[in-house]
């Protein structure tokens, strides 16, 4: 089982306060300066994606080398918004790149496409959502700072449910459902995580390359599967940082009931194969589903 470190909430609050006051915060570790590439999957987020991308480029203290936008066949003009932002300045053109899926590959499919493009060139890979559910730059910097700790982590996950996180503007039903699946994952799969479904992460590329991405779903359950594998790898050190999480400002077709049913099936099958049949984690992951959506 992986080692898990958690950042004290007071430390995170002080760092955020320093950034808000324009005071010099803790330095980005030298090894991460210009070394982080961020995958930003998007689907019909034309009204909110520009501020997210601008923050990633302008407010991350030199940590980010590239922001790779994966547009999942949006129909609301999202690619045009991204292209306009790229044309806005030489800095945006240098830092932002967009890949457009010819068809909707699913949320997980977009992440996997981004990973495949970056894992051969980027020392560190992050994932950030395009729908402004968290403070993009601040959350990236909180995760980046963890790599200056001893021992250094291999993977940093941003958690909605660890001490210091704020979900006061997050839908109560979805918050409750996520907490339920945190407990369900622990009981069924034997893996304890404060936020089993988080999709906001930063990892050494080597850690991502250890994962059997081809076996993971292309649907919304991609991150619960990936997080299971991260935490099941005894050679990885996992760190967590608290984050603020709120409801998305855009509406995407998403059935919470269907998501829950598919995730339940996935976790039960993982637990059966891993704990009863004694398969290794990669073999315990199964592909009974696919899914569209960003």
pLDDT tens per residue, range 48-60: 999 999 999 999 9
Closest CA to 213 of 204, 203, 222: 222
Closest CA to 221 of 278, 251, 261, 177: 261
Tens digit of each residue's pLDDT (9 = 90 or more) over 95-124:
999 999 999 999 999 999 999 999 999 999
Q: Which residue has the higher pLDDT, 53 or 20?
A: 53
Q: What is the DSSP letter of 126?
A: E
Residue 17 has pLDDT above 70, yes or no: no
pLDDT for the residue numbered 22? 60
Closest CA to 224 of 185, 256, 253: 185
Q: What is the DSSP letter of 168?
A: E
| Lowest-confidence pick of 171-175, 223-227, 250-254 | 250-254
Question: SS3 for 221?
Answer: coil
Distance CA 149, CA 39 (A): 24
Contacts of 50 (CB under 8 A, 6+ apart): 81, 82, 84, 85
**Rounded CA Rg of the chain:** 18
Residue 202 has pLDDT above 50, yes or no: yes
Contacts of 156 (CB under 8 A, 6+ apart): 143, 146, 147, 201, 202, 203, 238, 239, 240, 241
Mean of pLDDT over the chain: 90
Note the pTM of the prediction, 2 decimals.
0.89
Contacts of 27 (CB under 8 A, 6+ apart): 61, 148
pLDDT for the residue numbered 27? 75
Residue 291 has pLDDT above 60, yes or no: no
Q: Which two tokens stand for residue 264?
A: 């339940």
């Amino acid at each position: 089982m992986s080692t898990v470190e958690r950042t004290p909430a007071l430390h995170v609050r002080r760092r955020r306060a320093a950034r808000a006051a324009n005071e010099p915060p803790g330095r980005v570790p030298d090894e991460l300066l210009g070394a982080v590439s961020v995958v930003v999957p998007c689907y019909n987020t034309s009204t909110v994606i520009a501020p997210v991308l601008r923050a990633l480029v302008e407010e991350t203290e030199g940590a980010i080398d590239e922001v790779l936008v994966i547009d999942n066949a949006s129909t609301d003009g999202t690619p045009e918004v991204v292209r306009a932002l790229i044309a806005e300045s030489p800095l945006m053109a240098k830092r932002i790149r967009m890949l457009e899926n010819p068809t909707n590959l699913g949320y997980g499919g977009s992440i996997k496409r981004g990973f495949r493009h970056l894992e051969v060139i980027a020392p560190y890979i992050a994932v950030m959502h395009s729908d402004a559910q968290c403070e993009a730059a601040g959350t990236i910097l909180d995760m980046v700072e963890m790599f200056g700790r001893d021992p250094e982590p291999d993977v940093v996950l941003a958690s909605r449910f660890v001490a210091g996180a704020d979900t006061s503007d997050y839908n109560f039903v979805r918050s409750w459902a996520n907490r339920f699946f945190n407990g369900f994952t622990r009981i069924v799969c034997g893996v304890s995580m404060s936020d089993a479904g988080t999709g906001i992460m930063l990892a050494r590329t080597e850690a991502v390359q250890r994962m059997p991405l081809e076996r993971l779903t292309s649907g919304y359950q991609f991150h619960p599967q990936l997080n299971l594998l991260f935490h099941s790898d005894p050679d990885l050190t996992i760190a967590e940082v608290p984050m603020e999480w709120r409801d998305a400002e855009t509406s995407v077709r998403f059935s919470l009931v269907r998501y829950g049913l598919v995730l339940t099936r996935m976790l039960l099958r993982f637990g059966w194969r891993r704990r009863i049949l004694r398969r290794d984690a990669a073999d315990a992951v199964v592909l009974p589903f696919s899914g569209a959506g960003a």
